[in-house]
């Protein structure tokens, strides 16, 4: 198939391009590089031996989209392009809604005009809000996400859910990610935050490499085993494998399908620190700090539906997630900027 990958220069998108190419698909990336570097795509080409098509542009640019769809016969779209910094979304909600919700709407309109009706969308476990219980199945009620970023994901899910009701040619996969971590085993591509990382694993990795001094552990009084927050960390390559399988399933099945992509088990912040120390041989200095606003105590997936319907399950354990993160970080201490 010929797949349009929006946000394909980003962290998860670049790993998706690798797997799509390795599975024999043709890939065109559309990315405005607002949170990524073209270098990521050069690295992808080193891994796969083939440079993906690349269009520098914005998913909100209707004219560009029409030209892109006129020039190519896409079979499906994997839509990763979005802004994802939670704190920033609180300060700039309109920018987040415009980019994430508005961008998806203009993309779907261009798809409709071009007669392309298959989309795999990057959603998030954040749509469950603070869950009533764990593990979380897809049937759990949508909660109240604690920030505009999370609400933008919930809004896009609502928009995409309407499409097949109006036109039965649409087939949409809403993939709810738990906590993607890790990197490609080559150490060539990985997560490259532009500022100080918000997320736990990139923060730990930058402490380990010496770019940051100390980790703040946000909250040690949660009702969890050791008092720190528990999350379902999933290797980015397992996550991407779920996308390829979802793509195959929605090819034959119109409508909207929702799948959790998580491992089904949670680890605490302190367990994550220990696992990273073991793999890297570096000490991670940390300090117990107050809870972060908007955080929940524990969140992990019930991945049974994805197992049953996609024939998918996460294969890589915590040690592999940490080893791949460390390989990427230690070989690229400054991310894509040097090295």
- Nearer Cβ to ligand NAD, position 33 or 288? 33
Q: Does 58 bind ligand NAD (CB under 6 A)?
A: yes
Q: Which does 104 bind (CB under 5 to 8 A by kind): ligand UD1, ligand NAD, none?
A: none
- Nearer Cβ to ligand NAD, position 30 or 252? 30
Q: Which does 175 bind (CB under 5 to 8 A by kind): ligand NAD, ligand UD1, none?
A: none
Residue 320 sits at φ, ψ, to 5 deg, of: -65, -40
- Nearer Cβ to ligand UD1, position 111 or 230? 230
- Catalytic residue list contains 149: yes
**Least gap, CB of 300 to ligand UD1 (angstroms):** 10
Q: Which residues are at the interface with ligand UD1 (CB under 6 A)?
A: 84, 86, 124, 126, 146, 149-150, 179, 198-200, 203, 215-219, 229, 231, 269, 292, 294-295
**Window contacting ligand NAD (CB under 6 A); options: 52-60, 261-269, 287-295, 305-313:** 52-60
Q: Does 12 bind ligand NAD (CB under 6 A)?
A: yes
- Name which of 62, 162, 157 is nearest 113 in CA terms: 62
**Vertex 168, ends 163 and 174: CA angle to 5°?**
50
Element (H, E) at 26: strand 26-31
How many Å apart are CA 239 and CA 85, to the nearest integer? 20
**Least gap, CB of 149 to ligand UD1 (angstroms):** 6
Quote the tokens at residue 285: 């200095």
**Least gap, CB of 93 to ligand NAD (angstroms):** 15
**Least gap, CB of 286 to ligand UD1 (angstroms):** 8
Contacts of residues 270-276 at CB distance under 8 Å and 24 or more positions apart, as own/partner, are 270/217, 270/226, 270/228, 271/226, 271/318, 272/200, 272/201, 272/204, 272/233, 272/318, 273/204, 273/215, 273/217, 275/318, 275/319, 275/322, 276/201, 276/204, 276/205, 276/208, 276/322, 276/325, 276/326
How many Å apart are CA 115 and CA 128, to the nearest integer? 32
Site for ligand NAD (CB under 6 A): how many residues? 28
Q: Which does 60 bind (CB under 5 to 8 A by kind): ligand NAD, ligand UD1, none?
A: ligand NAD
Q: Which does 109 bind (CB under 5 to 8 A by kind): ligand UD1, ligand NAD, none?
A: none
Q: Does 13 bind ligand NAD (CB under 6 A)?
A: yes
**Least gap, CB of 258 to ligand UD1 (angstroms):** 16
Q: HSE on the CB side for 264, CA within 13 Å?
A: 13
Q: Does 147 bind ligand NAD (CB under 6 A)?
A: no
How many Å apart are CA 100 and CA 159, to the nearest integer? 12
Choice from 3, 77, 78, 82 touching ligand NAD (CB under 6 A): 82
Strand pairing partners for 3?
27, 76
Choice from 21, 99, 147, 268 touching ligand NAD (CB under 6 A): 99
**3-state secondary structure at position 148:** helix
Chain residue at closest Cβ approach to ligand NAD: 10
Assign residue 12 a region (left: φ > 0; alpha: ψ between -120 and 50; beta: otherwise): alpha
The strands making up 26-31's β-sheet, listed across from edge to edge, are 53-56, 26-31, 2-6, 76-79, 118-124, 171-177, 255-261
**Window contacting ligand NAD (CB under 6 A); options: 77-85, 212-220, 295-303, 321-329:** 77-85
Catalytic residue among 11, 128, 149, 233: 149
Q: Which residues contact 269 (CB under 8 A, 6 or more apart)?
A: 200, 217, 218, 228, 229
Q: Does 182 bind ligand NAD (CB under 6 A)?
A: no
Residues in the site for ligand NAD, rule: CB under 6 A?
6-7, 9-13, 30-36, 58-60, 80-84, 99, 103, 122, 124, 177, 180
Which residues are known to be catalytic? 149
């Amino acid at each position: 198939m010929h797949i349009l990958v929006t946000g394909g220069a980003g962290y998860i998108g670049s790993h998706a391009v690798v797997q799509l190419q390795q599975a024999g698909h043709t890939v065109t990336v559309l990315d405005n590089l607002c949170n990524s570097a073209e270098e990521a795509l050069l690295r992808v080409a080193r891994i796969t031996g083939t440079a993906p098509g690349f269009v520098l542009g914005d998913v909100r640019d209707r004219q560009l989209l029409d030209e892109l769809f006129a020039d190519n016969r896409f079979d499906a779209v994997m839509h990763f392009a979005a802004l994802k910094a939670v704190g920033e979304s609180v300060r700039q909600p309109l920018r987040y809604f415009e980019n994430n919700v508005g961008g998806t709407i203009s993309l779907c309109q261009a798809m409709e005009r071009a007669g392309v009706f298959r989309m795999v969308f990057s959603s998030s476990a954040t749509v469950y809000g603070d869950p009533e219980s764990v593990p979380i199945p897809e049937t759990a009620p949508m909660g109240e996400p604690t920030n505009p970023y999370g609400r933008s994901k919930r809004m896009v899910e609502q928009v995409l859910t309407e499409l097949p009701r109006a036109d039965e040619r649409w087939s949409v996969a809403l993939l709810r990610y738990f906590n993607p971590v890790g990197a490609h085993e080559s150490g060539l591509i990985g997560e490259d935050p532009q500022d100080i990382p918000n997320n736990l694993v990139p923060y730990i990795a930058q402490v380990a490499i010496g770019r940051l001094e100390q980790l703040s552990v946000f909250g040690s009084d949660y009702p969890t085993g050791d008092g720190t927050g528990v999350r379902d960390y999933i290797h980015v390559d397992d996550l991407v494998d779920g996308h390829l399988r979802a793509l195959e399933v929605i090819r034959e099945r119109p409508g909207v399908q929702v799948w959790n992509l998580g491992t089904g088990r949670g680890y605490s912040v302190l367990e994550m620190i220990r696992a990273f120390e073991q793999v890297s041989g570096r000490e991670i200095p940390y300090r117990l700090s107050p809870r972060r606003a908007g955080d929940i105590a524990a969140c992990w997936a019930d991945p049974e539906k994805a197992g049953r319907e996609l024939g998918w399950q996460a294969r890589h354990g915590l040690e592999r997630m940490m080893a791949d993160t460390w390989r990427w970080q230690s070989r690229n201490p400054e991310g894509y900027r040097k090295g």
